[in-house]
Amino acid sequence: MPLFGTDGVRGLANGALTADLALSLAQATAVVLGQGRSAEARRAAGKRATAVIARDPRISGDFLGAAVAAGLAASGVDVLDAGVIPTPALAFLIADREADFGVMVSASHNPAPDNGIKIFASGGVKLPDEVEQRIEEHLTGEKLLPTGGDVGRIQRFSDAEDRYVLHLLGSLPSRLDGIHVVLDCAHGAASGVSPEVFRDAGAQVTVIGAEPDGININDGVGSTHLDLLARAVLEHGADVGIAHDGDADRCLAVTADGTVVDGDQIMAILAVSMKERGLLANDTLVATVMSNLGLHVAMREHGISVKTTAVGDRYVLEEMNAGGYSLGGEQSGHVIMSAHATTGDGVLTGLHLVAEMARQGKTLAELASIMKVYPQVLVNVRGVDKARVHDAGVQEIVGGIEAELGDSGRVLLRASGTEPLVRVMVEAADGETAQRHADAIADVVRERLAL
């Protein structure tokens, strides 16, 4: 089974993901990514390859981050340790410092016992599949480790957060003065930086979910638990709520009356605005197969084409790079604005969404009304063999339901890239129909793919 999933290497800390694995993975990464042209140029100048590392605040990040740093330094790579910062901040800093690569220790929206390792190449971009495969191949091979003065140094990246904040503020088209924002930081990596930058941009800020203790990350808070944010927006009479996940590469929102605005709606708002301002390259948005049918309808009404990719912001980014597109993302809240970021950035997205409210003088509900959300039901089926998702019996019921729905809905069946489950998604003209079809498919999946 491949070590890398949809978004790096992920698993139970001290279970599947051990300090030994983290160290070996770092050493293999140093072999593969420490041999690029920038690294060669450094060596020619008598310098070592450089990597930036960071982590989210979950407790296992301490020992896994230390193992990554040790593996890199032992391989002759100089390490800049940025501490606890969002994943997109790490991606930005790799490019900003012209480092050869970077490593993020985070399991994103997963619960605290899990952790993960995300690797970024030079420029702060996620790795293509073939590079991940090369790293995996080097895990067990013999490594020629440097000695003496050739080993790497580990230094604290003291101004990492300040560089990121200045970058975010410099990206904004307008200030946020007069807008009251509730921020839910998921007790995660954005707990320090997100409130700071929203206040610096002029917003009145109320903060929840910003007291990380190492084990409360994503626990009933953040982008996967929006009820608390909706209640806080209503309680404080705020204009908008913004929610991040544990490593802040996602952004979801809540209107003043507590209605959820998902990633599809956020992309619709930003796409229409960017087209009006001449900033939407080729009048095209890139989205995944999970995006709501309503997004496609809304974009068509505004003269915007939609390119569709597999699930995962890395695939969105690949399509954006291939076509020179400027906006893409996922329903889950990963939104990529290529003029300002190389990956999904929840803080950047939230800032630009609120800035659009300020620029147009409209509420978030008014902005979100450009897109009608079709009822969409997602059922996660656990305890099954996700590798057999293309089973003939499963495909038969999917085909029958697709034929019944016609143009009024759609079905998506896929194995999760980050969890041991199969996802069943059905869209239809009404919620009852979507739920009935999703349950029917899920029942067949449980029966046919049982372990």
Binding-site members for Mg(2+) are 108, 245, 247, 249
Let me know: does 397 contact 449? Beta carbons within 8 Å.
no
Strands, sheet with 335-337, edge to edge from the N-terminal-most edge strand: 305-309, 284-288, 327-329, 335-337
Quick one: which of 247, 302, 231, 207 has its CA closest to 55? 247
Gap between the terminal Cα atoms of the chain: 16
Rounded distance between C-alpha atoms, residue 64 and residue 55, angstroms: 9
Let me know: does 348 contact 337? Beta carbons within 8 Å.
yes
Identify residue 43 by its one-letter amino acid code: R
| Cα-Cα-Cα-Cα dihedral sign, residues 29, 247, 202, 331 | positive
Listing DSSP states for 135-183 in one string gives HHHTSSS------GGGS--EEE-TTHHHHHHHHHHHH-SS--TT-EEEE
Out of 75, 108, 223, 326, the active site residue is 108
| Cα-Cα-Cα-Cα dihedral sign, residues 389, 446, 427, 404 | positive
With H, G, I as helix, E, B as strand and everything else as coil, classify residue 220. coil
Number of helices and strands in the chain (H, E): 15, 19
Rounded distance between C-alpha atoms, residue 329 and residue 441, angstroms: 27
Rounded distance between C-alpha atoms, residue 10 and residue 247, angstroms: 14
> Is residue 108 annotated as a catalytic residue, yes or no?
yes
Give me the phi and psi of 158, to 5 degrees please. -70, -30
Rounded distance between C-alpha atoms, residue 228 and residue 204, angstroms: 19
Let me know: does 215 contact 61? Beta carbons within 8 Å.
no
Q: Hey, which residues are catalytic here?
A: 108
